[in-house]
């Protein structure tokens, strides 16, 4: 920086003002400085910058991310959005045994300026800790209590309503919802299936449709038992809304053997999956695709906005899933 200053015949401070755009500088001076910077290949040192400004320009993304399927997009787009604004995203492994200490040290030790938290539970200890520690944070997801909290999340309620509407429009009167049974897993209390179940029950009730809910554990036994269970406890079902990927695929391959063709006899539509997963099946699943990239970016941007002092009201963004057509959804069969 000193070299740049000397060569451009200005002070070191002026160089700083130029590279940071932090105080007005006459166009000529600025031009001169920028040119010298270019000639010399100068790059400012992040550590020194962080030390002097007391800002690390690092966002911590807390993991473990237990749900391995749909997180890629969030992470990737958050990292990109951060980078575009001069921040960087680090993966922060949070061990559940000492959440409090770790969160405090993360911020207090000046390592990260703010935190991104995914896979939020309805009542999430980590959120309470973040508030206590006064750490700037943004959720990708929602807790039960939302006052004053910045979050971006999938609009499961609206997506579910849309899906039910769409199916109703196709003539379906008997729907089923398939959810992952998370009891006893670390993800018990994970909000999306809970919100979706409630939205589903309300939606079918409001429209006078029948709706059965199946909670299916993640093990192969429970999954392969589903088709039989469906046939016995809700045989008149003509459309399934599924948030359980393994179950969706299992249904798709098991039903034909029972003489049920998809989508001729039964429609299946999934919620919150990725298009690439949907494409793995035959026929490709009709999917309300999780807007991962949009949300990851929105979260990073919201956090940075907070960090840079635009305080205003909380950012609270809900994005519904968009329908990725596929070929597993069709009109209801003529009623027996």
The reply to whether 103 sits near its own copies by the rule CB under 8 A is: no
Q: Which of residues 17-56 bind DNA (CB under 7 A)?
A: 17, 19-20, 22-26, 28-29, 42-45, 48-49, 51-55
The reply to whether 66 sits near DNA by the rule CB under 7 A is: no
Letter string b/e over residues 269-294, b meaning 16 or more CB atoms within 10 A of that residue's CB: bbbbbbeebbeebebbbbbbbbbbbb
Distance CA 115, CA 324 (A): 32
Q: Which does 22 bind (CB under 5 to 8 A by kind): its own copies, DNA, none?
A: DNA
Q: Which does 335 bind (CB under 5 to 8 A by kind): its own copies, DNA, none?
A: none
Give the contact letters, 12-31, x = binds to its own copies (CB under 8 A), - = no. Answer: --------------------
Residues paired with 180 in a beta bridge: 216
For DNA, the closer CB: 51 or 66 = 51
CB within 8 Å of 97: residues ≥ 6 apart: none
The reply to whether 16 sits near DNA by the rule CB under 7 A is: yes
Half-sphere exposure of 60 (CA within 13 A, CB side): 25
Shortest separation between residue 56's beta carbon and DNA, angstroms: 12
CB within 8 Å of 6: residues ≥ 6 apart: none
Give the contact letters, 133-152, x = binds to its own copies (CB under 8 A), - = no. Answer: --------------------
The reply to whether 329 sits near DNA by the rule CB under 7 A is: no
Distance CA 186, CA 104 (A): 23
Q: Which of residues 219-278 bind its own copies (CB under 8 A)?
A: 220, 224, 245-246, 249-250, 252-254, 256-257, 276
DSSP-derived secondary structure for 155-183: -HHHHHHHHHHHHHHTT--EEEEEEE--T
Q: What are phi and psi of 200, to 5 degrees?
A: -65, -50
Please give the size of the binding site for DNA, defined by CB under 7 A.
29
Q: Which residues bind DNA (CB under 7 A)?
A: 1, 9-14, 16-17, 19-20, 22-26, 28-29, 42-45, 48-49, 51-55
């Amino acid at each position: 920086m000193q070299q740049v200053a000397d060569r451009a015949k200005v002070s070191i401070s002026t160089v700083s003002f130029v590279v940071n755009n932090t105080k007005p500088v006459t166009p000529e001076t600025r031009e001169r400085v920028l040119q010298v910077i270019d000639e010399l290949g100068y790059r400012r040192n992040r550590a020194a910058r962080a030390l002097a400004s007391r800002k690390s320009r690092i966002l911590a993304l807390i993991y473990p991310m237990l749900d391995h399927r749909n997180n890629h997009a969030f992470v990737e787009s958050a990292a990109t959005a951060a980078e575009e604004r001069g921040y960087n995203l680090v993966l922060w492994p949070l061990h559940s045994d000492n959440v409090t200490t770790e969160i405090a040290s993360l911020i207090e030790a000046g390592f990260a300026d703010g935190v991104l938290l995914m896979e939020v539970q309805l009542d999430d200890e980590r959120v309470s800790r973040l508030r206590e520690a006064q750490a700037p944070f943004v959720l990708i997801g929602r807790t039960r209590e939302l006052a004053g909290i910045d979050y971006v999340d999938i609009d499961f309620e609206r997506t579910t309503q849309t899906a039910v509407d769409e199916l109703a429009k196709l003539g379906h009167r008997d729907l089923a919802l398939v959810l992952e049974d998370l009891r006893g897993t670390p993800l018990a209390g994970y909000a999306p299936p809970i919100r979706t179940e409630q939205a589903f029950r309300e939606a079918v009730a409001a429209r006078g449709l029948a709706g059965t809910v199946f909670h299916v554990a993640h093990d192969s036994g429970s999954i392969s038992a589903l088709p039989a269970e469906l046939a016995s406890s809700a045989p008149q079902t003509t459309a399934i809304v599924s948030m359980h990927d393994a179950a969706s695929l299992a249904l798709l391959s098991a039903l034909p053997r029972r003489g049920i063709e998809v989508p001729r006899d039964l429609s299946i539509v999934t919620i919150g999956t990725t298009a690439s997963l949907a494409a793995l099946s035959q026929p490709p699943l009709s999917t309300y695709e999780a807007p991962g990239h949009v949300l990851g970016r929105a979260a990073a941007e919201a956090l940075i906005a907070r960090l840079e002092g635009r305080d205003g009201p909380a950012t609270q963004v809900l994005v519904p899933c968009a329908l990725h057509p596929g070929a597993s959804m069709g009109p209801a069969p003529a009623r027996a």
